Structure 1
Amino acid sequence: MRVLGIETSCDETGVALYDTERGLAADALHSQIAMHAEYGGVVPELASRDHTRRLLPLIQRVLDDAGLGRDELDAIAYTAGPGLVGALMVGASTAHGLARALDIPVLGVHHMEGHLLAPMLEDAPPAFPFAALLVSGGHTQLVEVAGLGRYRLLGESVDDAAGEAFDKAAKMLGLDYPGGPAVARLAEDGDPTRLRFPRPMTDRPGLDFSFSGLKTHTLTAIRQLEAAGDLDEKARADVARAFEEAVVDTLVIKCRRALDQTGLKRLVVAGGVSANARLRERLAREAAKRDAEVFYPRGRFCTDNGAMIAYVGAQRLLAGERDELGQMQAVPRWPMDGLEPPEGMDRLGL
């Protein structure tokens, strides 16, 4: 089955073609970062307009790269949520319109399920079951994964997601959007011993996260340095390092607890923050202590992309799922623990 995947949940327009027999055939992505950087964050109306402008040319580019015509598609998958409702509607309406014209099935899929299963696109994918850390600008969650659609939420952020906290810290430090890579670059020059920020919610049991207090602590530290006349470039780097260390330590501590609690030996880490080099280094050390393995998507699939949507859509379409004709889905808030295995999952072996 050849499945076209469409991702338009936020500020990246992603399209991919996944062949269930041969794997990923082609993918393309347009990022809106440069457009939104001027505003220090995503402007929903601008995001929707840009998706409208970019989506059809990207679809044609992916088909050309795969050497296929539209009439050779077997199905279409698109991100139905969570995300910005206007952006989601662009992808949903395009997918349904094209599917109706081609008389093929169409299916809306969960954005975070895409991130969760993105490592399945790699040459050495993880086997079920595994624990997963989903860590991005909008979500920080720990999930126990027994199979496709068989998810148990272990913990999540009660306020800011880790990626959102990175963006806010970057803004405090006068850095460009998106904040994660900018803070990480500045932190490379920081002294890890000068400042120590709290590791939120690690002094109590449980697997939930909270980064709002860390954000406030960072702002207080910056203001204190500023009032003392000490907020030079070196001090800004020290703040960035202290902030990054606090976030990474918190994520690693919670992942360690999740592995110990579930007894699992495989950990998937996905979402934009999973690209952080310090996080990967620390998780590798923790996994080695436990004779465990850590799996990531390749670099370009850590952030939003069409390949993960095409893959998840293909698995659920093979099991017989599909949208009713003309009933588009655009769900801005969609908890992942509401997902269920497809009825025909047994024959997929997932």
Structure 2
Amino acid sequence: MISQSSAPAPLTVLGIETSCDETAAAVVRLDADGRAHVLSNIIRSQASEHAAFGGVVPEIAARAHISLLDRIVQSAMEEADTGWDDLDAVAATAGPGLIGGVIVGLMTAKAVAMAAGKPLVAVNHLEGHALTARLTEDLAFPYLLLLVSGGHTQFLLVEGVGAYRRLGSTIDDAVGEAFDKTAKLLGLAYPGGPAVEQAAAASVDPTRFALPRPMLDRPGIDMSFAGLKTAVRTTAHAAAPLSPADVGDLCAAFQSAVADVIGEKSRRALSLFSEAYPDTPPVLVVAGGVAANGAIRQRLSQMASEAGARLAAPPARLCTDNAAMIAWAGIERLRDAAARGERIDDRAVPPRPRWPLDANAAALLGSGRKGAKA
């Protein structure tokens, strides 16, 4: 449930998500009393299709979305016991992401919206993550967002629907990418994040390997994970051949280093939030696939408690890519537009491989014909 000053109009939205290697559809309803209900949330992971390659192959992902999406949309509607006439809108990820997958989801959503005579809401995938905590908790604007995923690692001030200010970011690898590449280096299964966490849980001596904490000796909240990934490779080569115990201890050391960096940078980011909003109780929302990592959540919880801040973390199933967050973002945008006396219909919006939440922030990871990466 979300904080409201007046009762909202009830809304039911079908969401579609295909930005990477999860094919997903969901139906979310906002009642007139302000309570949100996830009526269905179907997610089909493609992990098995990509496991042999140790990462997502864009062409394989796009073909899988084409093969799966129609049935998943049908399953989401059936599980929600919802007919097309019951929908108020269709929402779909329009970017950022692997462009083949984005095209499949967005074009499907446009076809459904046109056939059902419903408006289309083109959703920024990152906005879906940014607003998920408002789906699951009583959370008002503004708040601080830590977005940690395979493609993004950044701090943002979330000041309202469509109002985001980036405070800091990774200057190289996203933390989820670092998890995946560490797993691949150590011969662990794909996806790498859960595999590294599982191996770390079996560690006999988590302090055995000393790994760096990049950029903690510098001011600010920007982060770097490329050097940490390189340090894991160097340490692994020095200790080769690696036993299962070696792998567990190295994963624990890597995970601890990541948690230390994210914990300290989050503490600094909370200070910046309090400077910007001195009269607002600080809230840190952590979202994205890496937010499901137990060690990182524990470190953030400890840090938030020490800083006198509230930590809001969606359930693990809503941290990874899913369509409920896209449907919810669609509801948020529809309500925001209605409050301004406007209507949304994004049928002319094109798919985008890049789409930063803060369009005014300087690109840290480069830009070009496709737009800023972050």
TM-score range, shorter chain: over 0.9
Q: Once the 2 structures are TM-superposed, how far is the Cα of residue 262 of structure 1 from its aligned partner?
A: 1.7
Match of 1:202 in 2: 216
Q: Does 1:10 align with 2:27?
A: no
Aligned residue for 2:111, secondary structure, equals helix
Aligned residue for 1:332, secondary structure, equals coil
Match of 1:63 in 2: 77
Q: Retained in 2: the 8 A contact 1:119–1:298?
A: no
Runs of 4+ in 1 over 4 A off after TM superposition: none
Partner AA of 2:51 in structure 1: A
Give 2:257's match in structure 1, choosing from 238, 246, 259: 246
In structure 2, the CA distance between the partners of 1:266 and 1:116, relative to structure 1 (3 Å rule), is same
Give 1:337's match in structure 2, choosing from 358, 362, 370: 358
Q: Once the 2 structures are TM-superposed, how far is the Cα of residue 324 of structure 1 from its aligned partner?
A: 4.6
Q: Does 1:272 align with 2:282?
A: no
Q: Does 1:218 align with 2:222?
A: no
Q: Retained in 2: the 8 A contact 1:96–1:328?
A: no
Match of 1:303 in 2: 320
Question: How far, CA to CA, are the matches of 1:67 and 1:130 in structure 2?
Answer: 34
Question: How far, CA to CA, are the matches of 1:94 and 1:253 in structure 2?
Answer: 42
Q: Retained in 2: the 8 A contact 1:13–1:51?
A: yes
Question: How far, CA to CA, are the matches of 1:242 and 1:4 in structure 2?
Answer: 42
Question: How far, CA to CA, are the matches of 1:321 and 1:207 in structure 2?
Answer: 38
In structure 2, the CA distance between the partners of 1:324 and 1:267, relative to structure 1 (3 Å rule), is closer
Q: Retained in 2: the 8 A contact 1:93–1:328?
A: no
Residues 314-346 of structure 1 show CA distances to partners (whole Å, capped at 9, x for unaligned) of 121231453454x2421101111029xxxxxxx
Residues 183-211 of structure 1 show CA distances to partners (whole Å, capped at 9, x for unaligned) of 11111232122112111111101111110
- % same residue: 49
Match of 1:343 in 2: none
Give 1:161's match in structure 2, choosing from 158, 163, 174: 174
Q: Does 1:188 align with 2:232?
A: no
Give the TM-score taking structure 1 as reference length: 0.92
Question: How far, CA to CA, are the matches of 1:170 and 1:324 in structure 2?
Answer: 39
Q: What root-mean-square deviation, in Å, do the aligned CA atoms of Structure 1 and Structure 2 show? A: 1.4
Give 1:103's match in structure 2, choosing from 117, 122, 128: 117
**Structure with higher RCO (Cα < 8 A, 6+ apart):** 1
Q: Which runs of 5+ in 1 are unaligned?
A: 340-350
Match of 1:287 in 2: 304
Question: How far, CA to CA, are the matches of 2:21 and 2:248 in structure 1?
Answer: 28
Match of 1:322 in 2: 344
Q: Does 1:119 align with 2:133?
A: yes
Match of 2:4 in 1: none
The aligned length equals 334
Partner AA of 2:68 in structure 1: R
In structure 2, the CA distance between the partners of 1:184 and 1:324, relative to structure 1 (3 Å rule), is closer
Question: How far, CA to CA, are the matches of 1:207 and 1:144 in structure 2?
Answer: 13
Match of 2:278 in 1: none
Question: How far, CA to CA, are the matches of 1:311 and 1:295 in structure 2?
Answer: 17
Q: Once the 2 structures are TM-superposed, how far is the Cα of residue 63 of structure 1 from its aligned partner?
A: 1.2
Question: How far, CA to CA, are the matches of 2:83 and 2:54 in structure 1?
Answer: 39
Aligned residue for 1:331, secondary structure, equals coil
Q: Once the 2 structures are TM-superposed, how far is the Cα of residue 126 of structure 1 from its aligned partner?
A: 2.4
Q: Once the 2 structures are TM-superposed, how far is the Cα of residue 125 of structure 1 from its aligned partner?
A: 3.1
Q: Once the 2 structures are TM-superposed, how far is the Cα of residue 110 of structure 1 from its aligned partner?
A: 0.4
Q: Retained in 2: the 8 A contact 1:2–1:19?
A: yes
Q: Retained in 2: the 8 A contact 1:125–1:295?
A: no
